[in-house]
Structure 1
Amino acid sequence: MEFEQRVMLLDANKHRIIGPPNHSDEVLYPIYSQGELIAYLGHIPQKSLVEATEVQFVEEFNFSLLWIWLVSCAVTLAVAYPWANSLIKTIEVFNKGVRQLAQGTYGSRVAIDRKDELGQLATDINHLATVLERNEQARQQWIADISHELRNPIAIMQAEVEAVQDGVRENNDSTIKSLHYNVTHLSHLVNDLYELSMSDIGALSYTKFEASPVALLEQCVDLYRDAFDEKRLSLLLIFRGDPDVMKNMSLQMDQNRIQQLFSNLLKNSLKYTDAGGGLEVVCSNTEDKQLVIEFNDSSPGLTDNDLGQVFERLYRVDPSRHRHTAGGAGLGLSICKSIAEAHGMTLTAGHSSLGGVSMKVVITWE
């Protein structure tokens, strides 16, 4: 509707003078002259775009928007579908691999070769599977070794008891001594296994007080001097530095456990060092607040491979250092490692300058 078709002029009695016919939507404005109403000016409000060009523009614009939306949807689907399909297949591979791990199939691997975050995730899952597989193999070996260690003394005791029952062997001091030997061996093994299991679950109790590790070491060395003399082994305690300073160095520790640590290391050298050799226990302190205690024994020594695994439970070393006495089930050094770590210490094995093995305990003060 053109502008002139929407404007009207009426007299004071609202008789139309000029303009379109009466319209229900028209709006009138009174006109006054010297305070007297003389006429009305009216118009019909515009409700929509009336210009053809404007209408055409709106229609074309809406049509363009529709096409843009359709094309955008088509392009999005064309790009997203292959990617989404690939992602779904990748997730299915992950799902299958993780499900197999959950079922205990630790030999399974996620076969995905990608260079993005999903590829890194696949690498991490495969690494986890490798660790789980190794742990399962270690657990199975652990059970087999424990069974072997328990079976031997039990089988010997059973055979000896049956021999006495059948009258093949007399029930004399020799028989009782043999039974006692195997019972002692079995008792030590069970106690060691118990301590390690308690350490694994964090239930191994430690009652810590302020104490000097060097003073405890001196006590342990003195206790083993006679045993070393009986085997014709020398036992030396050497201080590289001021002994009084080292003895005054103290920290929070469980004295019984630390004595057990030192005793196990002394006992280890006592059992495996050839007669005529010896053990040197060397104490030294460093400038970075560390106390180093080294147990250096003479031959026989260990190979590099044995040194790398000597702290593993029930690990069997070279026959030249094989177990000879009750309790030697390959758990002593594992217990030492657990005790050291519980006190913030480090325990490592290496070659000794005397031709045997060197066990190094490093204690750090905060």
Structure 2
Amino acid sequence: MRRFALILLAFATTVLAVNLPCTPKGPKAAACSDASFAAATAALRKAFRQSEAQLSAAASGQMESDAAEWLAWTQRVCPAGKAECLTPLYRAEEKTIAEGMVRAGGMQFYPRTEYRTAPDPAHTAGEPEHLPGDPGYGVGEFAWPQVDRANERASRWNRAVRTRVAALKRGSAADGDAFEPSPLGGKHEWLSYRVAAANARLIEVTFTQSIFPYGAAHPATKKTQMNWWLPRGREVRAEDVFRPGSGWRPFLARVSYEQLVEMSRRKENPVRIFPEAESRPAAEKAALQTGHWTLLRDGLWVTFPAYSVAAGFYGEPTIFIRWGQLRPYLAAGLDPETLPVRVR
């Protein structure tokens, strides 16, 4: 075990090269003889090398530091170093790196990560086991984007993202569909992101937070949008998009619900929404919140939280409204042609 720990620490200094050797006589020989783990190691090595080629020395150094933390975390979560425990962690890290490297709007986005474990005071079981059982401690996996070689505007966005994520990383508990601050212990928590759109005016990032309290039937998940005006140095407000006093609220609420009804009536892949008494107020409430908006050049996308308008089986339904429909209500300073297009 000590040799395994020392090798992890040695890897940390050059982790962007992902020097994760598998040798027949090494301390990970048992894991390395597993084909799935070997493939996961190779994919992770490739993802790190590709990211290093695209980043500045400063950003590469940050990712090396994060990766060193991740390597130490894998030892805490998989103390025996078994392939069946390590492989999904390596695959998840490869996905985080590969999908987090995004080029959009003339900016290079890269992932920052943090991995934590915390004692679960309520845990009284015997030997810990790997997830999804209760291992006796809480697990946190957090990822967020930053812009490399950032100018003054992008640097302000970088700081704002870190502030937003710091609040999310304090921990949350899923109580039904609600999330409330709580210690990390007693659950597995993930925070991931997707750069939805970006240009010189606007950066839009979707954060997904999932919480799996040990013993629960399934994780609880919520998404929130962070829409940031680069020239204004702040998040998008409703009055940036719609003219106050124009009647946009009742119009957007009505059109959003009508589109949900249409989705429930389509022949292929219908979304069976809840009865109107429940789904209409939930839809109208969500449609009016900027955290559920994605502003793209071709129109406005509104995402409804899971379980708000339909069963969890349907995920988070999304509707689309073209700017032409919304033109009578748009703010004078909003030119849809200057908005970004969806990334990928």
**Pair in the same fold by TM > 0.5:** no
Structure having the larger proportion of residues in helix: 1
- Between structure 1 and structure 2, the one with the greater Rg is 1
